[in-house]
Amino acid sequence: MPARQARCAGVRLDPPPQPEQPPAVVTRSGRIIATWLGTAPWIGPDGRPRVLPRTGPGASFDALVSSVTTDMRPRAVLDEWLSQHLVTLDGQDRVTLNVAAFIPPPGQAAQLHYFARNLHDHIAAATANVTQVPPPFLERSVHYDRLPGPVAARLEALGREGAQELLLRINRAALDMLAEPDPAPGAPTRRVNLGIYLFVGDDLPGEGA
């Protein structure tokens, strides 16, 4: 059921701290993966990322990397991604993206950056929703308890699948919009962070009784 919005007044909110600049691995890898997931010729007719030849004419992995950045050689990007299991390289020298990417390795700078940014934005949205009328941000959830294990597992799988489809759709839409002319120099810009979370755990004693 949609979570009920709570409202209160008289709460003083200090301006949120400015987020730190993301590590280079976040901006570089994120942009390349977003392009592979969202734009032609890197996606196929089914909307899924193509399996790319590592080199060669046309849509290759080297061409993909070079279309986004010239600061790092495609081979160096490939080696880095292979070590992080973001891609696989088969015997025909073809590169396949792990569709679940980008999930940074635990404890590394990229993961810590996403942790801090997403935690900040979720708290900021929730705080605004309980102090402003009407609540300005989307914040909804579906929650059930006292579920049999197989039912919980199936709902978890549906949640993961649906979230992945939504994020890919938003990514493609953003890339299409960004193909339009850039805003005028000095014009104010904004940012959008669409976050989805899913938690599965044992019922607490007395919960749902």
* Structural domain includes residue 82: yes
Confidence of residue 130 (pLDDT cuts 50, 70, 90): confident
How far is C-alpha 207 from the geometric centre of its chain's CA atoms?
A: 32
Could you tell me if 80 and 123 lie in one domain? no
Q: Do residue 34 and residue 59 come from a single domain?
A: yes
Residue closest to 78 by CA, chosen among 59, 92, 97, 91: 97
84 & 132 share domain: no
Question: Is 41 part of a structural domain of the chain?
Answer: yes
CA angle 120, 85, 107 (to 5 degrees): 35
Q: Is 191 exposed, middle or buried (0-12, 13-18, 19+ CB in 10 A)?
A: exposed
Quote the number of domains for the chain.
2
Asked, for residue 52, whether it belongs to a domain, the answer is yes
188 within some domain: no
141 close to 3: Cβ distance less than 8 angstroms = yes
Q: Are 93 and 117 in the same domain?
A: no
Instruction: Render pLDDT for 30-48 as a digit per residue (tens, 0 to 9).
Output: 788 888 888 889 888 887 8
Whether residue 153 lies inside any domain: the answer is yes
Residues 67 and 120 both lie in one domain: no
Does residue 1 surpass a pLDDT of 60? no
Same domain, residue pair 91 and 132:
no
Same-domain pairing of 89 and 132: no
Residue 127: domain span: 109-177
Compute φ and ψ for 42, nearest 5 degrees. Answer: -85, -15
% of the chain surpassing 90 pLDDT:
23
pTM of full prediction above 0.85: no
Tell me, yes or no, whether 7 lies in a domain: no
Judge whether residue 19 has pLDDT over 50: no
Which of 59, 74, 97 corresponds to the end of one domain?
A: 97
Give yes or no for a contact between 48 and 16, defined as CB atoms under 8 angstroms apart. Answer: no
Dihedral angle at the C-alpha atoms of 52, 56, 58, 62, nearest 10 degrees? Answer: 60
Indicate whether 28 belongs to any domain.
yes
Three-state secondary structure of the chain: CCCCCCCCCCCCCCCCCCCCCCCHHHHHHHHHHHHHHHCCCCECCCCCECCEECCCCCCCHHHHHHHHCCCCCHHHHHHHHHHCCCEEECCCCEEEECCCCCCCCCCCHHHHHHHHHHHHHHHHHHHHHHHCCCCCCCCCCCCCCCCCHHHHHHHHHHHHHHHHHHHHHHHHHHHHHHCCCCCCCCCCCCCCCCCCCCCCCCCCCCCCC
- Contact status, residue 65 vs residue 35, Cβ threshold 8 Å: no
Q: Tens of pLDDT along 182-203?
A: 778 888 988 898 888 888 999 8
In a domain, 114, yes or no: yes
